[in-house]
C-alpha cells in the first residue's frame, strides 16, 4: 500500500501508451479489412491471434498483478475516508469533490504542466542539437560525452535532488561560479527564491532528461538511410539544411517516444521536487506528486490521496494519448 499512490501515475500512463507499432497496424487492418473481406488472411487469422495472447500471457499476468490491480485498488480506496490505519468509511465521490475544488491542486497541476517545458521540450531540443553535432551518423563519435550525458539517467533521482540542493545553496557551486565570473550580484539561495526556485527545479529535470533524449535520437540517426544524406548533399545542402530536411523528419518516431517518456516524467514529477524544495518556498513548486504524498503520509487522508492519484493518472493518460495522436500519424 505504502508506495501505491506514488507509483500509480507512471504505471497507468504507461498502460495508456499502446505498444509501438501495434495500434496503427491494427487500425489500418480494421479500416482496410472492413469493406473488402478479401483482405482477411483466411481462417488461420483468429488462431494466430490466440497464440499471440498466449505469448503475451506471462507479461500480461505480471503487469496485471503489479500494475493493474494496485491501480484498481487505488481507485477503490479513493471512495473511502481512510487514515491509513483505522477502518475507513465509504464517502463516494467526496474525495474527488475535495481534491477538484482545492485551489492548491490547481496551482500544482499548473506547475506540473509547466514542467513539460523543462522536462520535455528543452531536453528534446537540446538532445536533437547534440545528437546532430556529436552523434553523427555512420560512426560512434564522442562515446565519452555520450556516456557522461547519459549518466543522470543512471543516478537515482533522490541522489540527484540532494546533489543539486547543495549546488544551489548559498555557498554552493552555482553561486561560486557566478561569483567567479563577476556576477556576484546574481547570487541567491536559488531554492528559497520565490521567482527562481521553480526554474531551478525545472532545470534539474532538464539535466536528468537530456541524456535519455540524446541516446534515443542517436540511435534513431543510425537508422536513417545514408543515401538520403548523400542526396541532400548532392543537392547542395549544408549541415543545417541537412538536419532539417533529413535528420528531423527521420527522427519523428523517436521524438514521439522521447516526448511520451519525458511528459510523463514531468507530470508525475515528485522525487526531485520533494528532495530539493518540498514544494516551497510557499507553494511555488508544489506538484500533484508532492500533494499526494502529503495527503497520504502526513495528513493521513489516504482516500483523498488516492483520488488525486486517479485524477493525475487520468490527466497523464489524456496528454499521452494526445501526443501519440500527433506524433503517431503518418501523412
Partner 1 sequence: MSARPLRRSARTTAMCAMLVAAATGLTACGGLTPGGSSAGPAPTGPVSTALPTGSATLTIVSSENAGTTKALAQAFHAKHPNITVDFQYTGPDDYDKSLNLKLSSDQAPDLALLNKLGTTVKANLVRSLDDYAKAYGWDAKYSSTELDQWRASDDGKQLGTGHLWAGPAGFSVVGVFYNKDIAAKLGITPPTTRAEFDAALAKAKAAGELPVQLGNLQGHSSFIVQSIVDATDGAAKTSDWVNGKAGATIKTPGGTAAATTLADWAKKGYLPDGANGTDLPGSVAEFTKGKGLFLFNGSWDAQVIDKAAHGKTGFLTFPGESGKATGIGTSVAYAIPAKAKNPDLAAAFLDFMNTPEAAQIQFDTGFLPVAHADTVKGAEGNVMNEVAKGWAAVNKDNGLVNFFANTDATMGDTLTSQGQQLIGGKIGPEQYLDALQNDWTKGHQ
Task: Fill in the per-residue mask, 41 to 80: x = in contact with partner 1 (CB under 8 A), - = not in contact.
Answer: -----------------------x---xx--xx--xx--x
- The verdict on 244 binding partner 1 (CB under 8 A) reads no
> Which of 317, 329, 313 is CA-nearest to residue 256?
329
Q: Which helix (H) or strand (E) holds 80?
A: strand 80-81
- The verdict on 85 binding partner 1 (CB under 8 A) reads yes
How far, in Å, CA of 127 to CA of 143, rounded?
15
From residue 22, how far is each of 18, 88, 179, 331 by CA, in Å?
7, 42, 54, 18
Least separation in angstroms between CB 163 and partner 1: 15
Q: Residue 36 in 3-state DSSP?
A: coil
- Applying CB under 8 A, which part among 147-155, 210-218, 239-247, 271-279 lies near partner 1? 271-279
- State which of positions 180-239 bind partner 1 (CB under 8 A): 188-194, 197
Q: Which lies closer to partner 1 via its Cβ, residue 250 or residue 300?
A: 300
**Phi, psi values for residue 81, rounded to 5°:** -90, 110
> Which of 292, 265, 282 is CA-nearest to residue 119?
265
- Applying CB under 8 A, which part among 130-138, 252-260, 294-302, 321-329 lies near partner 1? 294-302
Q: Which lies closer to partner 1 via its Cβ, residue 17 or residue 153?
A: 17
- The verdict on 18 binding partner 1 (CB under 8 A) reads no
- Applying CB under 8 A, which part among 31-39, 109-117, 156-164, 222-230 lies near partner 1? 31-39
From residue 52, how far is each of 42, 55, 67, 176 by CA, in Å?
17, 5, 21, 59
Q: Which three cell numbers stand for residue 143?
A: 562515446
Binding residues for partner 1, per CB under 8 A?
2, 26, 30-31, 33-34, 64, 68-69, 72-73, 76-77, 80, 82-88, 90, 168-170, 188-194, 197, 277-283, 294, 297-300, 302-303
Amino acid at each position: 500500500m505504502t508506495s501505491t499512490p506514488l507509483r500509480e501515475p507512471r504505471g497507468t500512463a504507461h498502460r495508456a501508451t499502446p505498444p509501438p507499432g501495434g495500434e496503427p497496424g491494427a487500425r489500418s487492418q480494421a479500416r482496410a479489412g472492413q469493406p473488402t473481406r478479401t483482405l482477411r488472411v483466411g481462417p488461420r487469422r483468429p488462431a494466430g491471434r490466440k497464440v499471440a495472447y498466449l505469448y503475451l500471457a506471462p507479461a500480461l499476468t505480471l503487469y496485471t498483478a503489479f500494475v493493474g490491480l494496485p491501480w484498481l485498488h487505488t481507485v477503490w480506496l479513493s471512495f473511502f475516508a481512510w487514515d491509513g490505519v483505522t477502518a475507513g468509511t465509504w464517502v463516494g465521490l467526496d474525495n474527488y469533490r475535495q481534491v477538484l475544488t482545492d485551489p492548491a491542486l490547481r496551482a500544482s497541476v499548473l506547475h506540473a504542466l509547466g514542467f513539460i517545458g523543462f522536462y520535455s521540450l528543452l531536453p528534446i531540443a537540446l538532445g536533437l542539437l547534440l545528437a546532430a553535432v556529436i552523434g553523427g551518423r555512420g560512426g560512434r563519435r564522442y562515446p565519452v560525452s555520450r556516456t557522461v550525458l547519459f549518466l543522470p539517467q543512471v543516478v537515482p533521482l533522490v541522489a540527484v535532488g540532494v546533489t543539486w540542493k547543495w549546488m544551489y545553496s548559498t555557498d554552493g557551486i552555482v553561486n561560486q561560479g557566478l561569483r567567479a565570473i563577476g556576477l556576484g550580484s546574481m547570487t541567491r539561495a536559488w531554492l528559497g527564491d520565490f521567482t527562481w526556485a521553480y526554474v531551478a527545479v525545472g532545470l534539474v529535470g532538464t539535466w536528468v532528461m537530456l541524456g535519455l533524449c540524446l541516446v534515443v535520437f542517436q540511435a534513431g540517426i543510425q537508422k536513417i538511410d545514408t543515401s538520403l544524406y548523400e542526396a541532400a548533399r548532392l543537392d547542395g545542402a549544408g549541415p543545417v539544411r541537412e538536419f532539417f530536411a533529413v535528420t528531423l523528419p527521420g527522427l519523428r518516431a523517436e521524438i514521439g517516444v522521447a516526448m511520451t517518456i519525458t511528459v510523463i516524467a514531468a507530470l508525475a514529477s515528485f522525487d526531485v521536487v520533494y528532495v530539493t524544495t518540498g514544494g516551497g518556498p510557499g507553494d511555488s513548486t508544489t506538484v500533484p506528486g508532492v500533494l499526494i504524498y502529503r495527503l497520504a503520509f502526513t495528513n493521513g487522508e489516504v482516500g483523498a490521496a488516492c483520488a488525486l492519484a486517479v485524477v493525475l493518472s487520468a490527466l497523464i493518460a489524456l496528454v499521452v494519448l494526445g501526443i501519440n495522436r500527433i506524433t503517431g500519424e503518418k501523412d
